[in-house]
Amino acid sequence: MNHNHNNGDNRQVVQGKQKMTPSEAFVETLVANGVTDMFGIMGSAFMDAMDIFAPAGIRLIPVVHEQGAAHMADGYARVSGRHGVVIGQNGPGISNCVTGIAAAYWAHSPVVMITPETGTTGIGLGGFQECNQLPMFQEFTKYQGHVTNPVRMAEFTGRCFDRAMSEIGPTQLNIPRDYFYGEIEAEIPEPRRVDRGPGGAQSLDEAAALLAEAKFPVIVSGGGVVMADGVEECKALAERLGAPVVNSYQHNDSFPASHPQWCGPLGYQGSKAGMKLISQADVVLALGTRLGPFGTLPQHGMDYWPKEAKIIQVDADHKMLGLVKKISVGICGDAKAAAIELSRRLEDRTLACDATKDERLARIKAEKDAWERELDEWTHERDPFSLDAIEEAKEETPFSGGQYLHPRQVLRELEKAMPEDVMVSTDIGNINSVAHSYLRFEKPRSFFAPMSFGNCGYALPTIIGAKAAAPHRPAIAYAGDGAWGMSMMETMTAVRHEIPVTAVVFHNRQWGAEKKNQVDFYNRRFVAGELDNQSFAEIGRAMGAEGITVDRLEDVGPALKKAVDMQMNEGKTTIIEIMCTRELGDPFRRDALKKPVRLLEKYQDYV
């Protein structure tokens, strides 16, 4: 008999100290923390608890690979602002999650990783699926809870959920598998949430004084603004100052793109307008950002970070203040609360920049207009390799029979066809990174990229998790064909469990980002960079999704609109395969490699 029905009071948490099994204590603590969805692959290690997920109102969404489950939990957390939860079988099920949890760590996602472990009577004997699961996550978690005794099951479970939110990142709950069994007395802890303040009064006063004297202030709106739900407060402060606002790297959703003061993202493949404007700043307010090294590096031939500017940095983690960039004032506080307090301090003051507000707004508009014109005219890459690749493409015909398209033109057409309220995830890679210039958002919790960890295979599972959390929003993933191969099997998860998404796969037959280094440093000696692929649209159809191959520029926008319409109205997952030329954008970092030197005679030609 199947008992997968939900009763009316299944979300009511049991009150007071009561007799229960550790499995019940674990599940009731999940309920207390609002868990309704988990991602993973079932396993015997936690089956006693899993047996009562359904009557507790918890859905376990089975995935194809546990790395995908961790990415789904990441996407779920980033959209909802709540926990994402991932679980797996002890040993290989857990080790498969390391990469996904590392990505969630650098995305500051409150993911709770539940890791059932070998039973206590067998630890250290090298039994089946045994491994020490705490060390493998220690670099990528904010807290690791290890259940030391069954009576402490609810305590450690609750603490892992609390710490994920208070520390703003992943936590690990490690449970010896025999500790799910027995009889204990337990009380289910109430969730604790930290009430974050704006920072210290002295540092806020110092920051306000600097902003009051600033002639050309610029705001960097970071991921902390999104996490604090502080976009409106950032906007109010920007309008008071008349300041240009740039997004921190891969946080294109931290300020509305339609706002006249929005200037686009910094960092790799970012906005020239934003970079030119921040280079003129005398005071920079870095709001909710750690100012990571990859997000402020030179780009488009510009070393734009202002050398003489006074930097005010606001971050909820005091360890980030001044870590990467020299700062004048560090505020340890919530981005939203800090923005409110700074606005209050500036409210009745005459600011040095008040008199030049119109002139600065005109400068912002001029730089943005120039950048948009450049993007419109930048239909293809212009370096010698890309020009050769474009010529080669004219001689070739894709298996679909049309023609190979320029990635930049494709990205512009996708931008024009984007639906309202869209969520977009991007993978890592050359075309995905070029996409930063073309991805614009009106509301926060809309853009999900693999951040500093930069792992391939990120986009599809993350957008599936996002869609599970926000089924009413259109969900689109961008991936290159190399990265796509790492996670495309999660298409089956989307189809099986009716979590419809749209994937745009840029089929350019190469590992583009690394191949660019072989162009720039290794005289076009291509090793392991070429990919000979089958049709991803056909593979998608074989997995139960719709598949569309696009090989005409005029079909790009209509294909996206059709796929989104099928997603929202028919519940269908679609793989849009776009046949692209092999042209390549700028490398990730020109400082990361050196021209080769060969000292042995047999390698003299390899320079």
Q: How many whole angstroms from its chain centre is CA 572?
A: 24
Please give the Cα distance from 186 to 69 (Å, whole number).
30
- CA 55 from centroid of its chain's CA atoms: 32
Give Cβ neighbours of residue 483 (< 8 Å, ≥ 6 apart): 427, 428, 429, 432, 456, 457, 458, 459
Closest CA to 252 of 227, 272, 226: 226
DSSP letters spanning 182-213: S-EEE-PPPP---------HHHHHHHHHHHHH
Query: Which phi and psi angles does 272 have, rounded to 5°?
Result: -65, -35
- Give the burial string for 303-315 (b: 16+ CB within 10 Å, else e): ebbbeebbbbbbb
Answer yes or no: is pLDDT of 7 > 60. no
Q: Are 463 and 75 in contact (CB under 8 A)?
A: yes
Is pLDDT of 3 > 50? no
Which contacts qualify for 242-245: CB closer than 8 Å, 24 or more apart? 242/353, 242/354, 242/356, 242/357, 242/360, 242/361, 243/217, 243/218, 243/219, 243/285, 243/353, 243/360, 244/218, 244/219, 244/274, 244/277, 244/278, 244/360, 244/364, 245/218, 245/219, 245/220, 245/221
Opening angle at CA 498, ends 494 and 500, nearest 5 = 60
CA–CA distance, 33 with 205 (Å, rounded to integer): 37
Cβ-proximal residues to 465 (8 Å cutoff; 6+ apart), any chain: 39, 71, 72, 73, 74, 75, 76, 77, 79, 84
Average model confidence (pLDDT) across the chain: 95
* Confidence band, pLDDT 50/70/90 cuts, at residue 1: very low
CB 456 within 8 A of CB 437: no
- Take residue 276 and report the two structure tokens written for it: 């030119």
Report, as an integer, the average pLDDT of 214-235: 98
**pLDDT per residue as tens digits for the range 294-327:** 889 899 999 999 999 999 999 999 999 999 999 9
CA pair distance 60, 533, nearest whole angstrom: 33
pLDDT value of residue 461:
98
> What is the pTM for the complete model shown?
0.96
With 0-12 / 13-18 / 19 or more C-beta atoms within 10 angstroms meaning exposed / middle / buried, residue 382 is exposed
- Distances in whole angstroms, Cα of residue 273 to Cα of each of 222, 361, 376, 381: 17, 13, 14, 19
Distance CA 98, CA 581 (A): 34
Average pLDDT in the 561-565 region? 98
What secondary structure letter does DSSP report for 302? B
Residue keyed to tokens 């059932």: 116
Over the stretch 353-400, which tens digit does the pLDDT of each residue have?
A: 999 999 999 999 999 999 999 999 999 999 999 999 999 999 999 999
Is 111 in a helix, a strand, or coil? strand
Given a contact cutoff of 8 angstroms between Cβ atoms, the answer to whether 439 and 426 are in contact is yes
Share of the chain above pLDDT 90, in %: 89
Q: What is the pLDDT of residues 97-151, one digit of tens each?
A: 999 999 999 999 999 999 999 999 888 888 888 899 999 999 999 999 999 999 9
Residue type for 580, please? C
pLDDT in tens, 158-216: 999 999 999 999 999 999 999 999 999 999 999 999 999 999 999 999 999 999 999 99
Q: Give the pLDDT of residue 8.
A: 45
- Residue 429 has a pLDDT of 87
**Across 69-92, average pLDDT:** 97
Q: Which residues of 566-598 are buried (b: 16+ CB within 10 A; e: fewer)?
A: bbbeeebbbbbbbbbbbbbbbbbeeeeeeeeee
Mapping DSSP to helix (H, G, I), strand (E, B) and coil, where does residue 397 land? coil
pLDDT (average), residues 464-472: 98
Helix (H/G/I), strand (E/B), else coil: 247: strand
b/e burial code for range 126-137 (CB count within 10 A of at least 16 → b): eeebbeebeebb
Q: What is the DSSP secondary structure assignment for residue 323, as one 8-state letter? A: S
